[in-house]
Structure 1
Amino acid sequence: MDDDLFDLTAPWAEQLNANTSELDAAGEFPHDKWKALRETGLLRVHFAPEFGGAGHGLTRTMRALEGLGHTSRDAGLSFSASTQIVSVGVPLQRFATQELKEKYLPRIMSGELITAHAITESSGGSDAMNLASVARRDGDHYVVSGDKMFITNAPVADLFLLYVRTGKPGPFGLTTLLVEAGTPGLTVGPAMDKIGLRTSPIGTLSFDELRVPVSQRVGQEGSGFRVLDYVMKREVLFGFSITLGEMTRRVEETIAFAKERRQFGRPISSYQGISHKIADMKIRVETARKWLADTGAKVERNEDAAFDLAATKTVVSEANVQTALDAVQIHGGRGVLTEYGVERDLRNSIAGTIYSGTSEIQRNRIAMLAGL
């Protein structure tokens, strides 16, 4: 069961969970917790030993991230950690030149550099093949114009992977470019306030004649959709492995509460209305676990997992919302008070049905694969 990786972050639980309510209320990125996260070694799990990584494969990395979700009550921090691994590190390791790997991967794995990938634009994020941000070739540089929105980690990021259009709309018109914060022509907007995952900042980017050396390109020109497809598979599996850990802890804590809380002389767990709701929570969590395990193994074997990924993302994200709603209901008045953290779980769950491809987009894919 890879319990060594599941428990990787457990010794840092106190640091990772410090001041979560206050930081969530302020919508503040937890820099001190990021330092603790760097010490855990989690950011090194998935990367090659030649660059200082631990060399673990996809499914073992999923197990480590599940453990983070179980340990950390700061879902925003966990979300930023998943983005750190997937946004730039994963595509660099798979598609970048040796020079770019040597330059950036060690500092990404150490957490010295915080990373973000810029896909979504103000017009939407689902239609990635028709991006408005464009890059034209000018000698040994690309010149980028346009803007991005809802970019996780953007306000605190040191390094960005930009998805831009270098050709006609379609799968062969995308290119990925690596850009450091502070590069002339790149403007990063302030953090945007949001309902949940509040310690994971999102923001905007704008490009005004941003010049990026061709040597900073990740993959070949026109191969950006291939990069995106590779990244999104892992974004779903890594991010929602964290969600699985969070849901598992939620069920455990709800069971403990229901056994302890008494009404009309009996523990509320003895009432069928409560016990059946907890049973449904448990079913949802274990269903999510099976989908993640099976889909992760399929992707790791390089098998076609288009249906599996769409189904997994839908099942897990929607299970997260429903189990959070159930937990609030079972906790009653405590469920809506901020001091207990139950309502925070609900707020954190909402965006999961939107990011990494909305539930509607996932169902469209499933319907298309079914021949509809």
Structure 2
Amino acid sequence: MEFAWTAAQRQRYEDAFAAARDAFPEERAHSFDRESWRVLGELGLLGACLSPEYGGQGLGALDTARIFEAFGHGCADTGLVFAAAAHLFACAMPIAEFGSPALRERLLRGMAAGELVAGNAMTEADAGSDVGRLSTVAERVDGGYRLTGTKTFVSNGPVADVFVTYAVTDPTAGHFGISAFVVDATAPGVLLDEPLHKLGMDGCAAGAVTFDDCPVPEQNLLGAAGQGSAVFQHSMGWERACLFALYIGLQDRLIEQTVRHVRGRKQFGQRLADFQSVTNRIVDMKVRVESARLLLYRTCWAHDAGEHTVLYAALSKLATSEAALASATDAVQLFGYRGYLRGNGIESALRDAMGSTIFSGASDIQRQLIAIEMGL
């Protein structure tokens, strides 16, 4: 087995880390803004795995994950990096794979450059993780479809220019009755809600999107009618393989901050680093992140090799998200009251980590997938 990175891969990580650290320092406001989005485009994050034909870098899953890891490490705004991941994996990649040439030509360059923001409109209030129970419908009409329904918790929803959404086109066909569409935010009948007030991930605006008798032209169908489940699984393959690399980077950042803190902070006449109970916590943080990192790299390698990735993706997602939450909790404890106060990036890391155990399939959904893959 080969664990070494090439010189080019190492340099790409270092460049991305330095760019993220310089562009998004700790003190910046954690809220979405178009200028920051354009910077992400200039730095190559928004088009990492898109073809160079459309302004991307043409990277595979493993190299893409490393860039998101670098940004998670260097950028203090985890929500903004998450917004970029949702934009790229859940929206740009399905368009690149299933969109018509005209649709790809119209959207992908702007998405890679940061000129456009895309929102992933799948989740519904009464469906949640049960994506087979969608209530949004798309009725066939002359020249296309008419879309009706409401999506909730749409990442980038309140600020998006374009949506990738899913609706039932044949209620008798189960998973084969779902279709995927690209919808412009300015289309008639598209109603955007105010941003939700979330626990964390402030840099990623999320909210409800309602499609009220919204016309969708035929050319905005992704793939064929009834292929929506395949489109969604394709996007989730990229998302579950690569997105959680940003939480590997977040954990690296937390460990560095915590090590600096315990070396410099004194209690009872000793450095915190001289107490074994303190160093044991940091060792556990390191064990978690390195274990999750290997699982994530294994998943990305399998994705690039065209292998079946469901088992490794579920293992990786579960390990990385649970590790991020546990390690952020440890960091708050080790920083004491400083960790509980806003402004030093510790409590915000805990709030940002909480969501990782819920989206892209909650932890118990991942356990269920693992059990199925094990034949249980």
Q: Which residue of the other structure, out of 139, 143, 149, is the alignment partner of 2:142? A: 139
What residue number does 1:202 align with? 206
Which stretch has the larger CA shift, 190-199 or 259-268? 259-268
Q: After superposition, where does 1:87-126 map in structure 2 within 5 Å?
A: 87-126=90-129
Per the normalisation by structure 2, the TM-score is 0.94
Q: How many angstroms apart in 1 are the aligned matches of 2:243 and 2:360?
A: 9
Q: Is the 8 A contact 2:242 2:300 kept in 1?
A: no
What residue number does 1:171 align with? 175
Q: CA deviation at 1:54?
A: 1.6
Q: Which residue of the other structure, out of 76, 80, 85, is the alignment partner of 2:83? A: 80
Amino acid at match of 2:113: S
Q: Is the 8 A contact 1:143 1:209 kept in 2?
A: yes
Q: Which residue of the other structure, out of 335, 357, 364, is the alignment partner of 1:360? A: 364
Q: How many angstroms apart in 2 are the aligned matches of 1:304 and 1:356?
A: 18
Q: How many angstroms apart in 1 are the aligned matches of 2:370 and 2:19?
A: 41
Q: CA deviation at 1:336?
A: 0.4
SS of 1:87's partner is: helix
Q: Which residue of the other structure, out of 300, 311, 316, is the alignment partner of 2:315? A: 311
Per the normalisation by structure 1, the TM-score is 0.95
Q: Which residue of the other structure, out of 5, 9, 22, is the alignment partner of 2:12? A: 5
What residue number does 1:224 align with? 228
Q: CA deviation at 1:260?
A: 1.3
What residue number does 1:211 align with? 215
What residue number does 1:58 align with? 61
Which stretch has the larger CA shift, 284-293 or 94-103? 94-103
SS of 1:56's partner is: coil
Which sections of structure 2, spanning at least 5 residues, go unmatched?
none
Tell me the number of residue pairs that the alignment of Structure 1 and Structure 2 aligns.
367
Q: How many angstroms apart in 1 are the aligned matches of 2:157 and 2:41?
A: 19
Q: How many angstroms apart in 2 are the aligned matches of 1:243 and 1:69?
A: 6
What residue number does 1:160 align with? 163
Q: Is the 8 A contact 1:119 1:162 kept in 2?
A: yes
1:316 to 1:201, Cα distance in 2 relative to 1, 3 A:
same
1:330 to 1:19, Cα distance in 2 relative to 1, 3 A:
closer
Amino acid at match of 1:5: R
Q: How many angstroms apart in 2 are the aligned matches of 1:111 and 1:132?
A: 32
Q: Which residue of the other structure, out of 8, 23, 47, is the alignment partner of 1:15? A: 23
Q: Which residue of the other structure, out of 165, 173, 191, is the alignment partner of 2:195? A: 191
1:248 to 1:119, Cα distance in 2 relative to 1, 3 A:
same
Amino acid at match of 1:105: L
Across the aligned residues of Structure 1 and Structure 2, the Cα RMSD in angstroms comes to 1.4
Q: How many angstroms apart in 2 are the aligned matches of 1:173 and 1:90?
A: 22
Which sections of structure 1, spanning at least 5 residues, go unmatched?
none
Which stretch has the larger CA shift, 84-93 or 11-20? 11-20
Q: How many angstroms apart in 2 are the aligned matches of 1:310 and 1:105?
A: 29
SS of 1:340's partner is: coil
Q: How many angstroms apart in 2 are the aligned matches of 1:192 and 1:39?
A: 28
Q: How many angstroms apart in 2 are the aligned matches of 1:363 and 1:52?
A: 37
Q: How many angstroms apart in 1 are the aligned matches of 2:155 and 2:343?
A: 26
SS of 1:136's partner is: strand
Is the aligned partner of 1:285 residue 2:285?
A: no
Q: How many angstroms apart in 1 are the aligned matches of 2:120 and 2:200?
A: 20
Q: How many angstroms apart in 2 are the aligned matches of 1:17 and 1:32?
A: 15
What residue number does 2:299 align with? 295
Q: How many angstroms apart in 2 are the aligned matches of 1:84 and 1:111?
A: 10
Q: Deviations over 1:41-89 (max 9, x none)?
A: 2222211122222211111111111111111010111111111211221
Q: Is the 8 A contact 1:258 1:269 kept in 2?
A: yes
Q: CA deviation at 1:134?
A: 0.6
Q: How many angstroms apart in 1 are the aligned matches of 2:309 and 2:88?
A: 21
Q: After superposition, where does 1:344-359 map in structure 2 within 5 Å?
A: 344-359=348-363
Q: Deviations over 1:89-111 (max 9, x none)?
A: 10111111111111111111111
Amino acid at match of 2:203: T
